Structure 1
Amino acid sequence: MNDINKALELLLGKLESWGEHLILMLPNIAVAIILIIITFVVARFIRNGLDKVIGRISHSAALNNLISTILYIALLAVGFFFVLSVLQLDKVVISLLAGVGIIGLALGFAFQDIAANFISGIIIAVQKPFGVGDMIETNDYFGVIERVSLRTLDIRQPSGELVKLPNKMVFENPVTNFSSSGTRRLDLDVGVSYGEDLEKVQQIAIEALQDVKNRVKTRDIEVMYDAFGDSSINFKVRFWISYSRQIDFVSAKSDAIIKIKKAFDANNIMIPFPIRTLDFGIKGGEKLSEQLEQVKDGRSVSDN
């Protein structure tokens, strides 16, 4: 019984001490509650104001939301640490900071790929090498950008497939932006017979492409001969087109082929077919007709 009485006395003493300490801490608790309320109000006010300011500077919704969210959480964390200090829980603050550092280090190793994509997304959002609606080629994928997030880049390919590329891959590899200038050069390979007047062919090709679809008429059409082929003299036709979608390029190329073919037909300019020699196993110097006659004679003798 004595042990039980001592335990009860010890428990009551502890409870009484805690009660006295709680009464002494009531002003601090009231200040802490007020401080928490003020922290939430100020953080929300600053976040709303920052959203308006950043929205005028940057047009990336993902980046704007990221910056405002980070600032909002940082303000809440500062207010929370002040509250702990008011409640005289400084040791808890130190323990929390140490715990946050250890947890952050562990998460950094565990999610380093996600972190790399996240950081790459931030850099891409700041540098803006491309935007939604641009036609790009990267990592062997070609298509229109549909969405730029802080983790992935969504590309819609001309054949309809949607590709989600991690930002790390896009950031570390070359990116070709076909829409950056609004124009694109179209190179078309053509061949004509060796018997044609090359200067005449050059002039007819230039005249034929004057009104080709989407052509930028302030830039000249170039026709340059570049090779003696097996059955033709080859040249390149180069001209610039207005470019915003891949259909602009495809339709201009198709129209150029049609116009060149019509112009060459109207002027009796021949686009030669490749020449192929077929080997029937005939001995040198003998004609094919003689070989056929020998085959027929051989069959006639066997029939008799």
Structure 2
Amino acid sequence: MILRLEKAWEEMVKRLASWLDSLIINLPNFIIAMLVFVVAIFLSKYVSKLTLRLLEKSSMQRSMKSVIAKIVSILVIFGAIFLILGILDLSKTFNTILAGAGVAGLAVGLALQGALTNTYSGIVLSYIKQIRYGDWIESNDFAGEVISIDLRAVTIRQTDNNLVYLPNKLVLENPIKNFSSTAQSRVIFTCGVGYSSDLEFVRNLVKKTISETFESINSEEEVIFLYTEFGDSSINFETRFYIDSTSALEVLKAKTEAMIAIKKVFDEHDINIPFPIRTLDFPKDFRKPAQGA
């Protein structure tokens, strides 16, 4: 038993000595490999920035330029890995890894199916022209300004300055409403006036007020005024006009300014904006005390 332990100890010492010799012999290669890896990290960042600069003059979208820069950066890292394997004389090991990469790739692909779908969708979104940086869009019940399109999600900034991260797959598969696809946006607001009002006078007054409030409106004819219904307590109307903006926030601001202006001129001309009124009908003898009380 003691002889076996001694032999095992001697064998272990020999192997440790051989490993130490190998480490000392290959120490320069390890140092060079580490330097190559560090240089590759910095080089990938520099190449990414350089790629963005070279693509600035192209007509591609900003998001597509960013995706190309990231791909070039990844290729630099992969090239450095191949070089490191050659320095460490691990090319045979790399061939073995490639041989098993098929099965491993299938397993990883199934596990990362959602992530890969978002990556592919991000590349598609970066290429199409229906959505760009700075556009005001509405998708998946969220609306805001597009500030980023990467390989995972589309980031939009809402009117309250909160950020929403929409997975690329959902944006690509669902309808997208792009408010920035045209040079103008339409403002619509509704109101009502009392039944005693002069309807023609109200119509002319509203159209005149709107045209004078907004510089983008050249004449009263560009303001659409429509009476919509006889309401319970008012005659309701709808006013439509365009402003030179594609931002949903600017549309809300224009609607606010229009409402302030309309309320002011209505007060000046004693035009009433009724509120709902409930009439209670009591029997004539409801105040008489009940018999026997």
TM-score (normalizing by structure 1):
0.67
Partner of 1:66: 70
Contact 1:154-1:163 at 8 Å conserved across structures = yes
| Closer, same or farther: CA 75–53 of 1 in aligned 2, 3 Å | farther
* Structure 2 counterpart SS, 1:209: helix
Partner of 2:259: 257
| Closer, same or farther: CA 51–156 of 1 in aligned 2, 3 Å | closer
Matched, 1:230 2:212: no
Partner of 2:148: 147
Partner of 1:25: none
Q: Which amino acid aligns with 2:66?
A: A
Partner of 1:6: none
Within 1, Cα distance between the matches of 2:100 and 2:130? 39
User: Where do residues 1-40 of structure 1 align in structure 2 (5 Å cutoff)?
Assistant: none
User: What are structure 1's unaligned runs of at least 5 residues?
Assistant: 1-35
Shift of 1:131: 2.9
Q: What's the RMSD between the two structures over aligned residues?
A: 3.7
Shift of 1:265: 2.7
Matched, 1:273 2:275: yes
| Closer, same or farther: CA 212–130 of 1 in aligned 2, 3 Å | farther
| Closer, same or farther: CA 232–206 of 1 in aligned 2, 3 Å | same
Shift of 1:194: 2.8
User: Where do residues 102-113 of structure 1 align in structure 2 (5 Å cutoff)?
Assistant: 102-113=103-114
Shift of 1:76: 7.0
Matched, 1:221 2:240: no
Q: Which amino acid aligns with 1:250?
A: L
* Structure 1 counterpart SS, 2:240: strand
* Structure 1 counterpart SS, 2:222: coil
* Structure 2 counterpart SS, 1:131: coil
TM-score (normalizing by structure 2):
0.69
Within 2, Cα distance between the matches of 1:260 and 1:49? 55
Contact 2:118-2:167 at 8 Å conserved across structures = yes
Shift of 1:79: 8.5
Partner of 1:291: 286
* Structure 2 counterpart SS, 1:165: strand
Contact 1:55-1:64 at 8 Å conserved across structures = no
Matched, 1:177 2:178: yes
Within 2, Cα distance between the matches of 1:179 and 1:159? 19
Within 2, Cα distance between the matches of 1:128 and 1:207? 39
Rg larger in 1 or in 2?
1
Within 2, Cα distance between the matches of 1:161 and 1:51? 28
Shift of 1:234: 1.6
* Structure 2 counterpart SS, 1:210: helix
Within 2, Cα distance between the matches of 1:49 and 1:254? 46
| Closer, same or farther: CA 241–161 of 1 in aligned 2, 3 Å | same
Partner of 2:33: none
Shift of 1:170: 1.1
Q: Which amino acid aligns with 2:103?
A: I
User: What are structure 2's unaligned runs of at least 5 residues?
Assistant: 1-35
Contact 1:215-1:239 at 8 Å conserved across structures = no
Q: Which amino acid aligns with 1:196?
A: S
Matched, 1:168 2:169: yes
Identical columns (%)? 36
